[in-house]
Amino acid sequence: MSGIIEVENLSYGYTPTSTILKDISFEVKPGTFLAIAGPNGVGKSTLLNLMCRTLTPKSNTIRIDAVPIESYSTRALASKVAVVRQEFVPVFGFSVMEVVLMARTPYYGTMGFENEADRRIANEALEATDTVGFASRPLASLSGGERQRVLIARALAQDSPVLLLDEPTNFLDLRHQVGIYDLLKAAQLEKGKTIVVITHDINLANQYCDEVLLLSTDRKFHIGKTQDVFSPEQIKKVFGVEVFAGEVGREKFFIPLGKLAKDSRQISK
Amino acid sequence: MNKWLWLLFIITCWMAVGFAISGSMQGQNRDAPPLPTRPERIVCLAPNLTEILFALGLEKEIVGVTLHSDYPPAAAEKTKMGTFWQPNIEAIVAAKPNLVITLGFEQQKNLAERLKRIGYSSLMVNLEKVSHLFKVIAEIGSATGRQDRADALVTDIRQRLDKLSVLVGTRTKVRVLWVVQREPLRVAGRDTFVNEMIELAGGENAIGPTVHKYPPIGAEQVIACGADVIIEPAMTGEDLAVQQGQALKHWSKFRNLSAVVNRRVYVIRGDTVSRLGPRLYEGVETIARCLRPELFGN
Amino acid sequence: MTQLLTPKKLIVRTGLALAVLVVVMFACSLIGTEDVSLKAVFGGAGSQTVANPDYEIFVKVRLPRIILAALVGAALASSGVVFQALLRNPLADPYILGISSGAGLGAIIAVISGLNWTLWGRSPIAVFAFVGALGTVWLVWFIGRLTGKFHLAGLLLAGVVVNAFFSAIIMFLTSIVKAQQVYATIFWLMGNMTEEDFLTLWVGAGCVAGGILALFYISPQLNALSFGADDARSMGINTARVRTIAFAIAAGITAIAVSLSGLIGFVGLIVPHAVRLVFGPDHRQLLPLSGIVGAIFLVVADTLARIIIAPAQLPVGVVTAIVGGPFFLILLVKYSRKVSWLK
């Protein structure tokens, strides 16, 4: 089985005296769609960066497919874990196809050119993200949402069992937000990928993710199925915000209501 | 990693081949030939060298000069080999010289090296002091088979200089400020051939010893130098009298200087005093006329 | 709009560019202040006592100089491509990290020290300039790393500071030193081509061509680096290794170029831009083509330098600046029009 992430007693601080993450342990089974949520600054991005080794964790605190993350070579790790960060436009005008193919660089032939398999994988990634129409356009000419899909396509082209995304729907409009979550869900269901998403949107997480890892500022964390973790009490405790909970179909939805919100009196208790 | 080994291999082979070819070329290369005793095609790379060659009667043998070689007038007709700062190596080669005479400073030294590498030998001379002049005339004389004329020339210059020093006598030396540039102010220091000419003419430099040959100085030093005479080599081709008037006006702000008080500011023609060559005596005499006009019945 | 690069396209374009380079080199070797007839050149070297001037000029004066110009142009343009990729900055040139002031300082120290020895016939200026260039790059690299591993801003700042500091030292030395030595250094610094001997050209060509080939090997990685080190590493690229190799090779061939011909500006900045504008940013193509176009550019510039104010010669650096400046401005305008839909 591939795509298992095990985190055991992970602690991390950017300086020797500070700690941002303390003794975090959890396991992500293969093919799970996990959301990481929590207030700003609690260490979500740090955790993600540790899970892809952009930051270096202490030995044997993170294992991918039962192998400690530090034992992987850069190339081997890339074949296991792909990361999508905030959408970004490089200075030089690469086209969408060129960008997606970059993910195949470790597999290029001797003279540095892609082969048939690479092109096929790249095309599949483009189709999965519905960006085939942009293939020969410069990345810079696309809108933010389209660019984000291209970066996801690039990550898909790595053909890795694990996909990590850091707030992929920031700054995107509603249609694109939903589009991306649909895309990710499809990748999970059709390809069996393990997907970890950092998100601020509780409702989208509720609708699409199987589990959620909730980090709170008191260094506590909760992990479990979304319906078990998300509740008005939990949200109030972690985010300090009152929410009105309701149900749509089988899932709950949460509407945050601040003091001056129109329906703030709906929140009794 | 295969392609890296390949690259290393190719580069090593390339270098090895290069060294091999270079080794075999050593034997074939035309060495710079020894200097001929009576060269027939001479290229000289400085105006004062040109003057020396003409003075030794080598007009016909000269096949190339630099851009500002204008004395004697016949020199201006010769093929130009670039400038004194940047001689044109192609022109030199095209002139097919069997002797190239260069000065000793960095640029021309490099050129001599380059010429040597492609098989042309040259004679490098140092011409920075008056004593060098006599040596160089003798050197060039023997390199071109004109020793007799060289000796005669040297003797003639020396005699005339001796006569002048007798005329000037041992009176108090006249203090001279020699200005080569007004803005920023630059004067000739003690370590220059200009200074030697001043002393031969019975003067002494108003400026003390300096690090630079042609130091930039400030107004303070001008005020303190106590110059009896200010001499400027002419900047433009205008009438000398006009330039002298302008110079006097320019220096009049230094009212304490005896040079200004006595209106002894002179502008003189550049060539004979800025080029160290066979017209050395003419240059020194011109200066002496400025320092002691009474001796020359002017 | 943009097509993918294929091996065939690359080979065809590189081949054509090389052909143009050869033609240009040949044509320029027939141009100069003296008239040289090709037939006379084939007459051979001539006898020991009477040299054939056409041959001498062509083979011993012009050809070495043109080959040197090609070599230096290729080195500067390729390293320009690499520095722009590493620093993710289209305004970077090979001198941005201290190479220029380091070479200049080395040169002026050599001149002042008045050393007269030669190393295999190379003047001490070239050797000191080479050592100065590499030493300064290492210093900048070292200082930059103190600000955090591969922190780009830190590296750039270190380069700016070191450049300023060394330039100040150069100016100081220039003002206290004898006039002739100053002129010699400044003249050298302005960039000039002289005839080098066979071995120097051969070894130099080998190093530059080998360097460009090595850089070609890591071109796909350079492509990925344009997204930043973190993303590149996530894609499976050994960023540290690629950066070190690219930096070392680019600095090395630039130091070779500078030690042979002084500081020639604009080639390393303009040529990568021009080639990128026409052929796109893929480094697998950008690198070899920039090298060849850089060679062509400098050969032509040097030829102009030789004939424009004949019989005197302009320093090549002046010609590249005069040609490069306006050309760069035109590029800038075109560039902004090309991406105008961004506005």
Distance from CA of B14 to the nearest CA of A (A): 21
Contact yes or no for B287/B160 (Cβ under 8 A):
no
Per cent of chain C over pLDDT 90 is 42
pLDDT at residue C120, rounded to an integer: 53
Q: Does C116 touch chain A (CB under 8 A)?
A: no
The Cα C246–Cα C243 span in angstroms is 5
CB contact under 8 A, C226 and A97: no
| Site of tokens 């398999």 | A117
Distance from CA of B123 to the nearest CA of A (A): 56
| DSSP-derived 3-state class of residue B232 | strand
| Chain A residues with CB-CB distance to B2 below 8 A | 110
Q: Are strands A33-37 and A211-215 parallel, antiparallel or unpaired?
A: parallel
Mean pLDDT of chain A: 90
Mean pLDDT of A88-107: 90
CB contact under 8 A, C311 and B88: yes
CB contact under 8 A, C195 and B118: yes
Using CB atoms, pick whichever of A74, A90, A112 lies closest to residue C236: A74
pLDDT at residue B28, rounded to an integer: 61
| Site of tokens 């002129």 | C183
Report which of B59, B91, B87 is spatially closest to residue B73, judged by C-alpha positions.
B59
* Highest mean pLDDT: which range of B101-115, C36-50, C241-255: C241-255
Q: What is the pTM of this model?
A: 0.86
- Across the A/B interface, how many CB contacts are shorter than 8 Å? 3
Topology match between the domains B42-154 and B169-296? yes
CB contact under 8 A, C187 and B91: no
Topology, domain C7-337: ABC transporter involved in vitamin B12 uptake, BtuC (1.10.3470)
Q: What are the structure tokens assigned to A125, written together?
A: 């990634």
Report which of C164, C171, C146, C149 is spatially closest to residue C97, judged by C-alpha positions.
C164
Range(s) of chain A covered by CATH 3.40.50.300:
5-229
Per-residue pLDDT at C265 exceeds 80: yes
Q: Which residues pair with B203 in a beta bridge?
A: B174
Per-residue pLDDT at C184 exceeds 80: no
| Site of tokens 């950008």 | C286
Give just the sign of the alpha carbon dihedral A6, A9, A11, A16. Answer: negative
Per-residue pLDDT at C65 exceeds 60: yes
List chains touching A (3+ CB pairs under 8 A).
B, C
Listed by start position, the domains of chain C span: 7-337
Per-residue pLDDT at C342 exceeds 60: no
* Highest mean pLDDT: which range of A237-251, B247-261, C96-110, C283-297: C283-297
Each residue's pLDDT tens digit, A195-215: 999 999 999 999 999 999 999
CB contact under 8 A, A92 and C224: no
Q: Are strands B229-233 and B265-268 parallel, antiparallel or unpaired?
A: parallel
Amino acid letter, residue C330: I
Q: What are the structure tokens assigned to A80, written together?
A: 């296991």
Each residue's pLDDT tens digit, A46-63: 999 999 999 999 988 999
Give just the sign of the alpha carbon dihedral A78, A114, C253, C205. Answer: positive
Sorted by sequence, the CB contacts under 8 Å of residue A4 that are 6+ apart come out as A27, A28, A29, A30, A63, A64, A65, A66, A194
pLDDT at residue C35, rounded to an integer: 78
Tens digits of pLDDT across chain B (298 residues): 689 999 999 999 999 999 998 888 776 655 666 777 788 889 999 998 999 999 998 888 999 998 888 888 888 888 888 888 788 888 888 888 888 999 887 778 888 888 887 778 888 898 888 889 999 999 999 888 889 999 999 999 999 999 988 888 878 888 999 998 888 888 998 988 889 999 888 899 998 888 788 888 888 888 888 889 999 988 777 888 888 888 888 888 888 888 888 888 898 887 888 888 888 888 898 898 888 888 876 5
Class of domain B169-296: alpha beta
Element (H, E) at A37: strand A33-37
Contact yes or no for C232/C239 (Cβ under 8 A):
yes
pLDDT class for C118, splitting at 50, 70, 90? Answer: low
Sorted by sequence, the CB contacts under 8 Å of residue C230 that are 6+ apart come out as A54, A85
Each residue's pLDDT tens digit, C198-236: 888 999 999 999 999 999 999 999 999 999 889 999 999
pLDDT class for C2, splitting at 50, 70, 90? Answer: low
The Cα A150–Cα B7 span in angstroms is 36
Report which of B141, B155, B137 is spatially closest to residue B276, judged by C-alpha positions.
B137
Distance from CA of A106 to the nearest CA of B (A): 13
By 3-state DSSP, what share of chain A in percent is helix, strand and coil, each rounded to 5? Answer: 40, 25, 40
The Cα B61–Cα B37 span in angstroms is 13
| Chain C residues with CB-CB distance to A137 below 8 A | 1-2
List all residues of chain A from 93 to 132 with a beta carbon under 8 Å from chain C: 93-95, 97-98, 101-103, 105-106, 108, 111-113
Tell me phi and psi for residue A82, to 5 degrees.
-115, 145
Topology, domain A5-229: Rossmann fold (3.40.50)
The Cα C271–Cα C70 span in angstroms is 13
Q: Predicted ipTM?
A: 0.88
Best residue in C31, C41, C56, C122 to probe B by mutation, most B CBs within 10 Å?
A: C56
| Chain C residues with CB-CB distance to A98 below 8 A | 2, 4, 223, 282
Task: Give the architecture-level CATH label for domain B42-154.
Answer: 3-Layer(aba) Sandwich (3.40)
| Cα nearest neighbour of B32 on chain C | C48
Best residue in B89, B109, B116, B212 to probe C by mutation, most C CBs within 10 Å?
A: B89
Using CB atoms, pick whichever of A92, A97, A158 lies closest to residue C4: A97
Sorted by sequence, the CB contacts under 8 Å of residue C102 that are 6+ apart come out as C132, C133, C134, C135, C136, C137, C139, C162, C166
Listed by start position, the domains of chain B span: 42-154, 169-296
Each residue's pLDDT tens digit, C92-108: 889 888 888 999 898 88
Using CB atoms, pick whichever of C199, C207, C312 lies closest to residue B82: C312
Mean pLDDT of chain C: 85
Mean pLDDT of C137-153: 80
